[in-house]
Amino acid sequence: MPPIKKNFETARTKHFRSIELNEQDERTISHIEEYGCSVVSVKRTSYGFGWSYTIGAFDTSGQPEIITVGLPPETAHFALNQAVELLRAGMDLTQGRHHDLVGEVDCEFRPVDPKWIKHLMGWAIWYYDGIDFPVLQAVYPDLENRFPEDKGFNKAFEQPLMGPTAPITRVEEEFWASADPSSSLFNWKFPDPPHTRVFLSETVHNGTEPVTYVSHDAEDGAWQFLGDSMSDGGGPVISCFHHPVDSDPSLGELADLPLGWYAERAKVGEPWIRKENPQEETEETGG
C-alpha cells in the first residue's frame, strides 16, 4: 500500500499519529492529512433525518466545518467536499447562493448554533477536543429553487434550520429528539407513525395519573392511554403518539399489541397483562 500523501499535515494530526488509533479513527486522520478534511455521514434513526459533516477543514485551512441534514450520503459527500474547496480558495460561502453543489439548484451556507454542534458532531468534537470551531449549515431548496422561508416551498425538502436566530419549529424539535437516545423518536418501536393521533384520559394528559390501561381498537386501529380512573368525565384528549411514549418509555413494551387487544398493569414498573377484547355478541333477527 503506497504511503499516504500528507498534503495537510498539522500539529493536531501529528498528535493523533503519536497515539494509538482504532481503524475508523485512523482512516479519518488519513483523509484529513491527504484531502484536508474527512466527511462523516450519520444514518437516520428509526424516525428523523440523517446528516453529514466535515472534520478537519478548520484545522487545515482555518475555514468553517460544514454540516447538512437530510441529503443522501453520496450527495452530501460531494457537496461538502466541493464547499470546502471553495472555502479554501478564499470564497465566503455565507454571501449569496452557490450553484453546482446540490443537483441543479442553489445552496446557502448559514452559521450553526453551538448547541447543534454539541448535539450532532460528536466525531468533530473528538478531533478538536471541544466545540470551539465554527460550522456552516449547507441549506438546500426544493426543486424550484425555493428555500425553506420562501412562499410555496415544497415541504418534501423540509430540513431543520440550525442558525443561532432560527426559529424552533416542529421540524427542529423533532430532529433534535430523533438524535437524542433518551427520546422515543430515536428508536420508534410502534408500527404507527409517531404523529398518529391517540387518545389520552385527562388525568394522563395532565400528568396526575400514569398510564395503566392501553387499548388498540380493532375497528379503526385507534390507541387509548388511560389511568386508573379511566376518565374524569371530560372526554378524551387527542395527542401525538410520541408524547405519552416520551413521558413513559415503558409504553414501548406494547409496540406489538395486536388490533383488538388491551393491556393493563397495577402501576408503573409492574408487568403488562394483555387480553383480547371480547367480540360483541350479535343476534340475528328474522325479517
What pLDDT was estimated at residue 3? Answer: 66
- Compute the average pLDDT of residues 204-222: 93
What pLDDT was estimated at residue 95? Answer: 96
pLDDT in tens, 152-205: 999 999 999 999 999 999 899 999 999 998 889 888 999 999 989 999 999 999
pLDDT above 90: residue 283 = no
Residue length, the chain? Answer: 287
Using an 8 Å Cβ cutoff, are 60 and 37 in contact? yes
**CA-wise closest residue to 139 among 108, 168, 179:** 108
pLDDT above 50: residue 287 = no
Amino acid letter, residue 224: Q
Residues whose CB falls within 8 Å of the CB of residue 278, separated by 6 or more in sequence, listed in order = none
Supply the DSSP string of 75-93, one letter for each residue: HHHHHHHHHHHHHHTT--T
Amino acid letter, residue 8: F
Backbone φ/ψ region at 181: left (φ over 0), alpha (ψ -120 to 50), beta: alpha
Alpha helices in the chain (DSSP H): 11-17, 23-35, 57-61, 73-88, 114-120, 122-128, 170-178, 202-205, 242-247
What pLDDT was estimated at residue 281? Answer: 41
pLDDT in tens, 107-117: 999 999 999 99
**CA-wise closest residue to 54 among 12, 26, 85:** 85
pLDDT above 80: residue 280 = no
In terms of C-beta distances under 8 Å and separation of at least 24 residues, what long-range contacts does 100-104 make, across chains too? 101/138, 102/71, 102/75, 102/138, 102/140, 103/75
Helix (H, G, I), strand (E, B) or coil at 8: coil
What pLDDT was estimated at residue 179? Answer: 92
- Compute the average pLDDT of residues 1-8: 74
What pLDDT was estimated at residue 16? Answer: 96
User: How far is Cα 63 from Cα 111, in angstroms, rounded to an integer?
Assistant: 12
pLDDT in tens, 248-278: 999 999 999 999 999 999 999 999 999 998 8
What pLDDT was estimated at residue 80? Answer: 97
Higher pLDDT, 195 or 280: 195
Q: What are the grid coordinates assigned to 75, written together?
A: 450527495
Backbone φ/ψ region at 130: left (φ over 0), alpha (ψ -120 to 50), beta: left
Rg over CA atoms, the chain: 25
What pLDDT was estimated at residue 6? Answer: 84
Alpha helices in 185-280 (DSSP H): 202-205, 242-247
pLDDT above 60: residue 285 = no
pLDDT in tens, 80-136: 999 999 999 999 999 999 999 999 999 999 999 999 999 999 999 999 999 999 999
Helix (H, G, I), strand (E, B) or coil at 100: strand
**CA-wise closest residue to 69 among 94, 86, 48:** 48
pLDDT in tens, 55-79: 999 999 999 999 999 999 999 999 9
Alpha helices in 89-158 (DSSP H): 114-120, 122-128
Would you call 243 exposed, middle or buried from its count of C-beta atoms within 10 A (0-12, 13-18, 19+)? middle
